[in-house]
Amino acid sequence: MKDTSRSLPAKELFDLPEGVIYLDGNSLGPLPKSVAAHVAETITGQWGAHLIKGWNVDDWMGLPKQVGDMIGRLIGAPTGSVTTGDTLSIKVFQALASAVKMRPDRRVILSDSGNFPSDLYMAQGLISHMGQGHELRVVAPDEVEAAITDEVAAVMLTEVDYRTGRKHDMTALTQAAHRADAVMIWDLAHSAGALPVDLEGSGCEFAVGCTYKYLNGGPGAPAFIYVRPDIVGDLSPALCGWLGHDAPFAFEPGYRPAPDIERMRVGTPPILQLRALEAAMRVWDGVDMNELRAACLSLSDLFIAEVEARCPELTLASPREGTLRGSQVSFIFEHGDAAMQALVARNVIGDFRAPNIMRFGFTPLYIDESDVRRAADVLADVMRNRLWDRPEYKQTRRVT
């Protein structure tokens, strides 16, 4: 049998600028080489040549589910249980609204203080619109399990904390939610493409995620949503768009949801972004996620050791034990924003999260040990020479 496994790193699959060490794939994945031609062909060979016929002859209409299945293979979801579209915030809203509807006698949505603000905001907006006295209860990450009581309708968590990289135990918390008969929603924004995920094995009802981070789908790439197949047929969608209808082109006046995951679609799919994502997903062909995870932990362990040995000014904000982290490492530094600007000016790209977190993502697809050592050298230089104190690195920017 032909060995189709891909050895890591697979740098040659990406268009990375010469000399750049990219440690920010956790925020925006780099450009896979195959994307530009695939999108160009969609523009000229399909949109240009086929015009409206493209919806049928090029199966644009089937693309959200087809790309959803590619993502599903990476996160342990069965075929036909994932669809793509909209943005992650919208998918969080949809999952949450349907989950709360599944437990009409309960009034609490439980989340944690490590969750991404947009997830919490979507819950706040949903609660105020429903006007039924629901409460968003936000507890510390290590207090979630104890807070899952029989008041809780839905537990909504992001597996990996965007700031610290701390990783929840997905199976254990899903079981705890189910013991209390609560619905479980996982946000996989920092998991899909970063570590092995077994959605089917976890038993959770919903999962959502974005595709512009570790899945390299490009800025504004569509989000994904998974619904456990045994419940999708009874689910009440909150956003009743025509493309979630059972028969969109029957143009019936009344909404009747599609029987399967298609009911989580809303409106017209972003075909160019979906084609970009489709090409980007090919990067994963033959990648063994366990091997990727092992490589990631060895790179991030090395980075921690190098930085701690040479930069006493920095304090590790991530769990020291690799299995308790996602694929990022964060350090606390009072002048972290300026220090990160100094790093970026030296071609080591990470990012900064207020108030004081310097974030570095380790994606073994295109990062290797020599990159990690070089990044640590540059960081040590920035610290030793107080380069962060230069005025040019103290600019405020719209996006950090």
Ligand X SMILES: *Cc1c(COP(=O)(O)O)cnc(C)c1O
**Active centre residues (catalytic):** 116, 187, 212-213, 359
Task: Tell the smallest beta-carbon distance from residue 400 to ligand X (Å).
Answer: 13
Tokens representing 86 are 């909209």
Cα–Cα distance measured from residue 183 to residue 45, given in angstroms and rounded to the nearest whole number: 44
Cα–Cα distance measured from residue 344 to residue 353, given in angstroms and rounded to the nearest whole number: 15
Give the number of other Cβ atoms within 10 Å of residue 90's Cβ: 17
Cα–Cα distance measured from residue 373 to residue 98, given in angstroms and rounded to the nearest whole number: 47
Task: Tell the smallest beta-carbon distance from residue 111 to ligand X (Å).
Answer: 11
User: Is the alpha carbon torsion for 368, 373, 377, 383 positive or negative?
Assistant: positive
Task: Tell the smallest beta-carbon distance from residue 209 to ligand X (Å).
Answer: 8
Tokens representing 40 are 């160009």
Cα–Cα distance measured from residue 159 to residue 196, given in angstroms and rounded to the nearest whole number: 12
Cα–Cα distance measured from residue 359 to residue 109, given in angstroms and rounded to the nearest whole number: 29
Task: Tell the smallest beta-carbon distance from residue 265 to ligand X (Å).
Answer: 16
Tokens representing 357 are 């977190």
**Structure-token match 């087809």, residue found:** 66
Whichever of 205 and 351 has its CB closer to ligand X, that residue is 351
Closest CA to 111 of 103, 101, 121, 102: 121
Which residues of the shown chain bind ligand X in the complex (CB under 6 A)?
A: 87-89, 116, 118-119, 158, 162, 187, 189-190, 210, 223
Whichever of 215 and 295 has its CB closer to ligand X, that residue is 215
Whichever of 49 and 140 has its CB closer to ligand X, that residue is 140
Task: Tell the smallest beta-carbon distance from residue 224 to ligand X (Å).
Answer: 11
Q: At what angle do helices 336-345 and 369-384 cross, to 10 degrees?
A: 120
